[in-house]
Amino acid sequence: MWKSVFYKEWLKIRWFIVGYTLLGVLGIGYMFLALKHSFAFTEGENMWHLALFQGHQFYSHFKFVPLAGGLTIAFTQYLPETINKRLKLTFHLPLAENKILLIMQAFGACSLLVSFLIFFGLFTGFSLIYFPVQMVSNSLITISPWMLAGFAAYFIIVLIILEPKWIFRFCYLLIGGFFMTIYFTLDGTAAYSHANSGLFILTVLLSVTFVFSAYRFRKGEA
Amino acid sequence: MWYILIFIGVLTLAIFLPKLYWIAFEKPPRKPFILYSCVNNEFMIHRIGERVWVDTKGKQYSREEYEQKLPMMFYKQLLASGSMPDSIRGTALDMHAILREKSFFRLKANEIDAPRPELYPLFESRTGRAYLELPEDFFRITWRIEFIEATTNKIQEEKSQLFSAALFHNGFSFPAKFISGLPTFRKSCDEGYLIVDSKDQLFHLKMIKGKPFVKKIDVPEGVKFKHISCVDFNNKDFYAYLFSDKNEIYILTQANYKLINWAIEGYDPANCDLKIFGDLLNYTVIIEANDHQKAIALDKQYEIVDTYTEKWLVKEDMQEDWIFASLFPAQLSMTSDNSKFIRFYFTPSKGFDWIFLNLLLVAFHFIWLLKRKTKLKSHLADLGIVGISGIYGLIAIHLFQNKFFD
């Protein structure tokens, strides 16, 4: 049965996740093409100096790309389910209600993970062509909270969409919006070295909060 | 799930409510600008917001009088107004000497607790050119020193081996704990890097005509340097200010690699900013903590000639902080003035006044539950959460309502 749920979710998000991943890959391609151009015109040592001592981040355009991914997948996966409360049909499937939702959520999160892993791999691979491992490692520390923000946005939007009452949707949006800013507090390279593990734990905790809204959705707001 | 949402809610509110509160009510502290006057041998204070110029005894001066007491700082103004003295304490005020001896150094706490670059450019110290040029390679020190060419991102094996051997033969113990230099071509000359090795030994490394220059520096017994700031002052008296793990300040002389300890007390690099003004006759060291400023004047032999401390009202002393401490049990922040790292900085509120509001909020929530005729037994956790986290918990509970247990 879980395969059928996976397939149903795939049908909903396939074009969006594929399109988003392609756009992301193209964006990363452009980013490194621009970097190659800068290396050719500005000289490698100047580019390194800018990155090491003047806080220049050639990847700064990537900042909100994972966030956009999280929002896209959350809306495409769950918005159709809430129109006319179609999700209630899903609850008639011969599977525990929470289990179905968990499978749906796992599918969405895994799709994002695959997408982000592709970005992460491409970013790391291309970066290692131009920069030594210390600089690449600091770049990865810098982009990690942006990646986590993609997942957090996905989980928060699911929580909001599944909530049946508009007033509470607004409340969740308020807290969720403020919460999201902690992933983007400072832009400094490697500034999140000591915070990434904490943010990772918070993001994992967020991943199961949809059950709260789902319960209220099932009960038609208790 | 509900507990997780409450936890996220409390965490978010504990970051943003205090932030909003302080944006609305914080008042800037009135920090004075203090300098040692070589004319009347005492500290002169400029209270910037009030446009008042006084000495430590409270005697008021006009702006012009104040500037005349600090000729090394305001020499341009005094020259323009024709009131620059010819000599002070028997020392002729030659403009070249004033400019040569004038220096300013600043070190903020957040420059010490900050991400480090790990790669540095080693300039050619004797290029024979008027301007310095950025080298094509950068070095890192791991199990050896490695030079990596920026254009190709490849290790320069020959140069790496040459410099690694030079460091090794001088007793350097890899890897490096701290590397300090001036990694910019906007400096008068290059003096390379001061490096603390894994055994807390101090080395000076530079490149002269493509060859390594390594000098092991004698460090006093038991002294370990945790931060070094290299300087490029006109008088070339010293290479750097060095800060030990016991919060002592040293300088490293350029003439004979001598480490001189400035007998300065009260400086904690973790939460103080440091400013050092140097001139022809004195150094004025300013240690700026959260609630006070300590000014220390030294002569050119680095002996202390005078000190002065002034406190000011900080937000902890103000009524706004008492109100804050009554409203919020604690505050969480992602940033700190003393660091460039993002962390979860937790600061409990001063005192326990917040307990009264927490109890009041517990009572409010209890009445609210009674009015809604909910099962109180299912909501005991609510009351506990409000009791501990106060206003944060109450808001979080009402935003994420505990409907599971009804």
Three-class SS string for chain A? Answer: CHHHHHHHHHHHHHHHHHHHHHHHHHHHHHHHHHHHHHHHHHCHHHHHHHHHHCCCCCCHHHCCHHHHHHHHHHHHHHHHHHHHHCHHHHCCCCCCHHHHHHHHHHHHHHHHHHHHHHHHHHHHHHHHHHCCHHHHHHHHHHHHHHHHHHHHHHHHHHHHHHCCCHHHHHHHHHHHHHHHHHHHCCCCCCCCCCCHHHHHHHHHHHCCCHHHHHHHHHCCCC
Q: B405 lies in a domain? A: no
Closest residue, chain A, to B114 (C-alpha) = A191
* Whole-complex ipTM: 0.89
Cβ-based contacts of B397 with chain A (< 8 Å): none
Instruction: Looking at the structure, tell me whether residues B41 and B78 fall in a common domain.
Output: yes
Residue of A148, A212, A213 to mutate for B, most B C-beta atoms under 10 A: A212
In a shared domain, residues B71 and B104: yes
Q: Is residue B406 part of a domain?
A: no
Residue B153 contacts A, CB cutoff 8 Å? yes
B130 and B220 housed in the same domain: yes
* Contacts of range B93-100, beta carbons closer than 8 Å, 24 or more positions apart: B93/B280, B97/B280, B98/B72, B98/B279, B98/B280, B99/B234, B100/B234, B100/B235
Helix (H) or strand (E) holding B392: helix B391-399
Radius of gyration of chain B (CA): 28
Chain B residue with CA closest to A218: the answer is B404
- The pLDDT assigned to B177 comes to 96
- A-B CB pairs within 8 A amount to 129
Residues B200 and B333 in one domain: no
Whole-number Cα distances in Å, B84 to A72, B34, B102, B300: 69, 21, 16, 22
Distance of alpha carbon B137 from the chain centroid: 30
The one-character DSSP state at B327 is H
**Average pLDDT estimate for B358-367:** 90
Q: What is the pLDDT of residue B224?
A: 95
Q: What is the pLDDT of residues B25-83, one digit of tens each?
A: 888 888 899 999 999 899 999 998 888 999 999 899 999 999 999 999 999 999 999 88
pLDDT of residue A192: 95
Considering the domain architecture, whether residues B126 and B254 belong to the same structural domain is answered as yes
The residue ranges of every structural domain in chain A are 2-218
Residues B6-11, mean pLDDT to the nearest whole number: 94
Minimal-distance CA residue of chain A relative to B123: A45
**pLDDT at residue B406 tops 60:** no
Q: Are A185 and B334 in contact (CB under 8 A)?
A: yes
Q: Are residues B322 and B188 in the same domain?
A: no
Residues 6+ apart with CB under 8 A from B49: B28, B30
CA distance B131 to chain A (A): 16
Same domain, B126 and B244: yes
Verify that B92 and B21 share a domain, yes or no: no
In contact, B63 and B53? CB cutoff 8 Å: yes
Question: What pLDDT shows up at residue B86?
Answer: 86
**Nearest-CA residue of chain A relative to B345?**
A195
Which chain B positions have a beta carbon within 8 Å of A102's beta carbon? none
d(CA B3, CA B381): 9
Distance from CA of B391 to the nearest CA of A (A): 14
The verdict on B266 touching A (C-beta cutoff 8 Å) is: no
- Taking an 8 Å cut-off on Cβ atoms, the answer to whether A190 and B16 are in contact is no
In a domain? residue B371: yes
**Beta-strand pair B60-61/B52-55:** antiparallel
Res B403: pLDDT: 62
Compare all CA atoms of chain B with the CA of A182 and give the residue at the minimum distance.
Answer: B334
Q: How many domains does chain B have?
A: 3
B115–A contact, CB cutoff 8 A: yes
Contact A171 B148 (CB under 8 A): no
Q: Do B8 and A168 touch (CB under 8 A)?
A: no
Residue B377 pLDDT: 75
- Please check the confidence at residue B160 and state whether its pLDDT lies above 80: yes
Residues 327-346 of B with CB under 8 A from A: 334-335, 340-344
What are B241-263's pLDDT values in tens digits?
A: 999 999 999 999 999 999 999 99
- The whole-number pLDDT of residue A84 equals 66
**Chain B hits for A39, Cβ within 8 Å:** 151
pLDDT score at B405? 45
Shared-domain flag, residues B327 and B370: yes
If asked whether residues B76 and B116 sit together in one domain, one would say no
- The partner residue sitting opposite B153, judged by closest CB among A130, A171, A193, is A130
Pick from B138, B400, B406: which is nearest to A48 by CB?
B138
Locate the chain A residue with the closest alpha carbon to B117: A52
Within this chain, do residues B189 and B215 fall inside the same structural domain, yes or no? yes
Classify residue B404: in a domain, yes or no: no
Lowest mean pLDDT: which of A1-5, B121-125, B199-203?
A: A1-5
Domain that residue B295 falls in:
30-110+260-312
CA distance A15 to chain B (A): 31
Closest CB from B183, B334, B396 relative to A53:
B183
Name the helix (H) or strand (E) containing B11.
Answer: helix B2-25
Q: What is the pLDDT along chain A (222 residues), one digit of tens a residue?
A: 667 777 877 888 889 999 999 999 999 999 999 999 999 998 899 999 999 999 999 999 999 999 999 999 999 998 887 776 666 666 666 667 678 888 888 999 999 999 999 999 999 999 999 999 999 999 999 999 999 999 999 999 998 988 888 888 899 999 999 999 999 997 789 999 999 999 999 999 999 887 787 777 776 654
Q: Which of residues 342-371 of B touch A (CB under 8 A)?
A: 342-344
Compare CB distances from B344 to A132, A195, A216 and report the shortest one's residue: A195
Let me know whether B153 and B244 are in one domain: yes
Question: Residue B151 and residue A191: Cβ atoms within 8 Å?
Answer: no
Residue with tokens 């002070």: B88
